[in-house]
Chains A and B, each alone.
Chain A
Amino acid sequence: MTARIGVVTFPGTLDDRDTQRAVRVAGAEAVPLWHKDKDLKQVDAVVLPGGFSYGDYLRAGAISRFSPVMESVIEQAKAGMPVLGICNGFQVLTETHLLPGAMLRNNHLHFICREQKLRVESDRTAWTADYTAGQEISIPLKNIDGQYTADERTLDMLEAEGRVAFRYLDTNPNGSLRDIAGITNEAGNVVGLMPHPEHAVEPLVGTGRTDGLGFFTSVLKKLVNA
């Protein structure tokens, strides 16, 4: 048996088909979910992929957060369903307050696309169990609104509770506070990050590395063993 992993398409979502592919490469079944549809189609986990939903003309993720599908995602996330937000998906998750903080425009004001080295800080989330804490991985990063910010108290809390899931290594590409690339909620089922694991699952395409595959195998193992 395998798990059903939903991939949401908002208007302006770009990485939905790539994410579906990553889910399949990991061995799970990818289930397309539509923003106007509250029905999660009995999926076991949900990925909110990257892109520019609603063009990011307001604030990244600010409109998508109110879509019908998000009502169900929020409800299920609170009940423990694994949810991963990548890039624009991470921005949506902060807008829903499932994850704290917010994203600002990159400190250099440009879109940046590069291979980014990260340290996996926590292997205790639903999406990182296949890594070991401290492991260094390299996956693509591509965004213009990627500067993670939160107030000092929130940042201290995230650090104290071990909820900083990923940190930028070598260079901080966008001015994110404390080099934070991704975080998790308290329960570890909801994870958001700016870089793109779904672009690093096959040796031939993207960066030619498969460092991102662990996100999808992690959640698959958890779901299948549950």
Chain B
Amino acid sequence: MTLDTVKHAAETPDVKLPWAELGLKEDEYERVREILGRRPTGAELAMYSVMWSEHCSYKSSKVHLRQFGEKVPENDAMLVGIGENAGVVDVGQGYAVTFKVESHNHPSYVEPYQGAATGVGGIVRDIIAMGARPVAVVDPLRMGDAHHPDTKRVLPGVVAGIGGYGNCLGLPNIGGELVFDACYQGNPLVNAGAIGVMRHEDIHLAKASGPGNKVILYGARTGGDGIGGASILASETFDDTKPSKRPAVQVGDPFQEKLLIECTLEAFAEKLVVGIQDLGAAGLSCATSELASNGSGGMRVELDDVPLRDSTLTPEEILMSESQERMCAVVEPGKVERFLEICEKWDVIATVVGEVTDGDRLEIFWHGEKIVDVDPRTVAHDGPVYERPYARPSWQDALQADDANNLARPANADELRAQVLKLVSAPNQAAKSWVTDQYDRFVQGNTVLAQPEDSGMIRINEETGLGVAIATDGNGRYAKLDPYAGAQLALAESYRNVAASGAKPLAISDCLNFGSPEDPDVMWQFAEAIRGLADGCLELGTPVTGGNVSLYNQTGEAAIHPTPVVAVLGVIDDVARRTPIAFKEEGQLLYLLGETREEFGGSAWSQVIHDHLGGLPPKVDLGREKLLGDILISASRDGMIDAAHDLSDGGLVQAVAESCLRGGRGARLVVPDGLDTFTFLFSESAGRAVVAVPRSEELRFTDMCGARGLPATRIGVVDGDAIELQGEFTLPLSELREAHEGTIPGLFA
């Protein structure tokens, strides 16, 4: 076969290329021809097809995502915003924090262990590419029905993959979620988040500037794994008739990644790096075109110099390969030798594969022949943009009219007690320690809080006690009922979780998981969710620093629930002031903060007891969330509360059960005036938290709430070894623990 060079392509305009197999649509292929003024070479086609895939180009979501840039709250904490590998936030004392959440949904369904493992690897490389030392990871997961046999294949593999990779990297896993719902059966969501810390002056960007500077590829050798993963796996709905896609999932090597982290940070410390980019989706195609287009534009790459694991790879395959644990750095000629020395110290293979050039073309050579000659911006940034049609689904009204508030409620105290037990032992509300105990939460020695706490918290300065907190949340059931409100509820819950731990929320990242953008119903959900999230961030003053969109989470006609997952990052001046969830001290007073209404649409109770989804989600009041957050932070700083737990799915009874079990203490509860027992226990009204107040602080605390207009209702006291609801029922902690902690191991161990 003759090499398809640029010259050859110009001479043979009629050669048919497999653009459809590579995932391009006909008009997209025509557009490539138009841009180049000729047909693309095979290598160019490979680059355009991966970079213009949904996963890399955000072609369906871009028009909506713009709102994150337009509705920007006043917030001087943002140092680097959307568009870079990850956003960067100022957390004070000269420190900057970078964080991001990404999806690895499709690969994790095909091959759970490697899919999830490489998801961790990818997000961590995004963090190191910013110049930061990764300090923690979190993993929000959504799985199919807990009782479905395929969930037993996917979940244990995903958990082992996250653990196998993350544990070997030495990153504490401090948070995340695990939610089961039949809607995720064929499309589990495996989102991965990471946080990194650096000094302000150490921020690095993906930019190749300075003609003559060398382009160094370092890390693992390039192999045949993951070829076309970005374009095929992430951009099309699964279809049983196609051949297995297993070979398209990459294989991870966490040991190599650990070396990559240390070697990269050492090179940063010696100021050897002008620009840097990790190789993730779309591999070298992405790294070279993004580095070049973010710089002055010109770059020349010798593809023959790329170290290969498999010498039979074609140039197209080398460009598309998604082999893991690779990075690309731009280094001044005088510093190349030192850079290579550091790589050698860490036994990391590093090769100069090209250089930055004067022009504005990205030129790639193979065996001395030019096989790519493109304007890198057309590859990296000028991909197609779609205004996908969207419309409110015809079924939305009927869904909302099916009011959960009309469902049959427990008739007596015995039923109430039975339903409490059923709720806390349901897979979604049950303890997740079988999962989280497979993750190292202690490594690095700075973990202040980890799951099942409201947020994960990491100390970043030993002397001052400065720390950061992160929480991730997203309730697909709420979002299905009302995507605008659902996205805001995800934001509100995550915000509340961070504040409940005592940290001040600063900024967010998101992972937006939806079905097919070609379905107007799904596109409407997406548009509404973005609008809700952007409006919400504006109101809460927490800018979006970046994130990820995962579309095509759909099997046949059935899309997943719209699932925007929001990660809120917060800062705490002194981690000694953090607030845990555990009720530990006998006699402390329990206060319910916020207002409780009859809100059961999308609730855990409606799911567990009635297998029902309908009505409206809880009302959103972001002003109230902000006030609640301020009170929780002040109370933590001034030592007025010893424990706090946000109220979300499962309502008050779920929160109290978790706090009691965590602290090994019971609680005596009294239903406050004006509320019925059922609503008191199970309502999921937003903007609420339960706190434990030492008696000596009661007056000061209630005065503060009163002065600032936050309803604070005394609902009981920490006492004994049971949850006792006065006049209704008593639940010994031992019985509660067995119910709450036995479910997940019973299903998956």
Contact = CB atoms under 8 A, between A and B. Distances in A.
B437 A18 contact: no
B575 interface: yes
A206 B448 CA distance: 6
B119 to A, nearest CB: 17
Contacts of B749: 108
B445 A113 contact: no
Nearest to B258: A12
Contact of A113 (B169, B347, B440): B440
A108 B748 CA distance: 12
B316 to A, nearest CB: 31
24 contacts: A11-B255, A11-B347, A18-B444, A22-B445, A52-B168, A57-B255, A110-B163, A111-B160, A111-B438, A111-B439, A111-B440, A112-B437, A113-B439, A113-B440, A113-B441, A114-B437, A142-B440, A199-B442, A199-B445, A204-B465, A204-B575, A205-B445, A205-B575, A206-B447
B443 interface: yes
A14 B253 CA distance: 15
B76 interface: no
A206 B438 contact: no
A142 B444 CA distance: 13
Given A52-B255, A112-B437, A142 B167 contact: yes
B444 A17 contact: yes
B210 interface: no
Interface string B137-173: 0000000000000000000000010011001111000
Given A18-B443, A205-B445, A111 B163 contact: yes
A14 B254 contact: no
A188 interface: no
Contact of B167 (A22, A111, A114, A202): A111
Category for how many chain B residues contact A: 35 or more
Contacts of A202: 445
B405 interface: no
A14 B438 contact: no
Contact of B459 (A55, A140, A205): A205
B448 A140 contact: no
B576 interface: yes
A17 B448 contact: no
B259 interface: yes
Given A204-B575, A206-B442, 11 more contacts: A11-B255, A14-B168, A54-B255, A56-B168, A111-B160, A111-B163, A111-B167, A111-B438, A111-B439, A113-B438, A113-B439
The 7 closest A-B pairs by CB, nearest first: A55-B255, A14-B170, A18-B445, A199-B442, A52-B168, A140-B442, A142-B440
B462 interface: yes
Interface string A126-159: 0000000000000010101000000000000000
Contacts of B436: 113
Interface string A180-221: 000000000000000010110010111100000000000000
Contacts of A113: 436-442
B255 A21 contact: no
A204 B258 CA distance: 27
B95 interface: no
A110 B438 contact: yes
B196 to A, nearest CB: 15
A144 B255 CA distance: 15
A171 B328 CA distance: 47
B535 to A, nearest CB: 38
Contacts of B439: 111, 113
B437 A21 contact: no
B346 interface: yes
A116 to B, nearest CB: 11
B446 interface: yes
Interface centre among B258, B441, B442 (most CB of A within 10 A): B442
B156 to A, nearest CB: 9
B445 A12 contact: no
B620 to A, nearest CB: 35
Interface hub of A11, A14, A22, A205 (most chain B Cβ within 10 A): A205
Contact of B254 (A52, A111, A142): A52
Nearest to B447: A205
Contacts of B163: 110-111
Interface in B707-749: 749
A55 B256 CA distance: 8
Interface string A6-32: 000001101101100110000000000
A56 B253 CA distance: 11
Contacts of B164: 111
A135 to B, nearest CB: 22
A15 B347 contact: no
Interface string A94-108: 000000000000001
Interface of B: 160, 163-164, 167-170, 253-256, 258-259, 345-347, 436-448, 459, 462, 465, 575-576, 749
A139 to B, nearest CB: 10
A82 interface: no
B442 A196 contact: yes
A89 interface: no
Interface in A45-91: 51-52, 54-57
B445 A110 contact: no
A12 B168 contact: yes
A205 B439 CA distance: 17
B445 A204 contact: no
B294 to A, nearest CB: 32
Contacts of A111: 160, 163-164, 167, 438-440
B112 to A, nearest CB: 15
Contacts of B446: 205
A51 to B, nearest CB: 6
Contacts of B437: 112-114
A109 B124 CA distance: 26
A111 B437 CA distance: 8
A151 B447 CA distance: 38
A127 to B, nearest CB: 18
A11 B260 CA distance: 11
Contact of B445 (A55, A56, A198): A198
Contact of B448 (A21, A52, A54, A205): A205
Contacts of B444: 17-18
A111 B446 CA distance: 21
A206 B445 contact: yes
A205 B444 CA distance: 10
Contacts of B160: 110-111
A21 B459 CA distance: 13
A22 B256 CA distance: 27
A21 B253 contact: no
B443 A14 contact: yes
A142 to B, nearest CB: 5
A112 B438 contact: yes
A12 B439 CA distance: 17
B438 A55 contact: no
A22 B443 CA distance: 13
Nearest to B574: A204
Nearest to A139: B442
A196 B749 CA distance: 25
Contact of A55 (B253, B440, B465, B576): B253
A17 B445 CA distance: 8
B121 to A, nearest CB: 13
Contacts of A56: 168
